[in-house]
Structure 1
Amino acid sequence: MAREDQRRASRELRENLIAQLEELYGEAFEQLTTQNLGEGAIARLTQLLLRSREAAITPLQEEIEAPLITRPPST
């Protein structure tokens, strides 16, 4: 597989993974609203989910947005 094809496939894989994670976290947030938990428990779980989502998705997004350096700058 050519280098450009590998980059494209890798990017698509990361984008698909982000979409799957977004869906998973969305479902988890929806489940919180259907549980008969107190406000404090819901707040704590919501905070944990937000932190977990951030930790899972941000590195994937940063890699997608990272500049591609193919050769050193000319002098």
Structure 2
Amino acid sequence: MSGTQDVFNDKDVKEAYLPRVWVSMYSEESKEGEEDPKVAVLKRILGSLGVEVELDHIRTEADEEKRKKR
């Protein structure tokens, strides 16, 4: 078990952070025209947690926040 997994499985961490999700994946370059594999995995994780994943919506909100701060 890695040091990171030890922290993830620590009793205090388990009590403080819910939900908890452990993801391990290899690094792979995305092919032209394809979604980055890491983004695809993140979308599936968030979807399984009941979080709506709309990147265009998130980008629009981020752009609006940037404009407000100027």
TM-score, normalised to structure 2, is 0.27
Larger Rg, first or second structure (1 or 2): 1
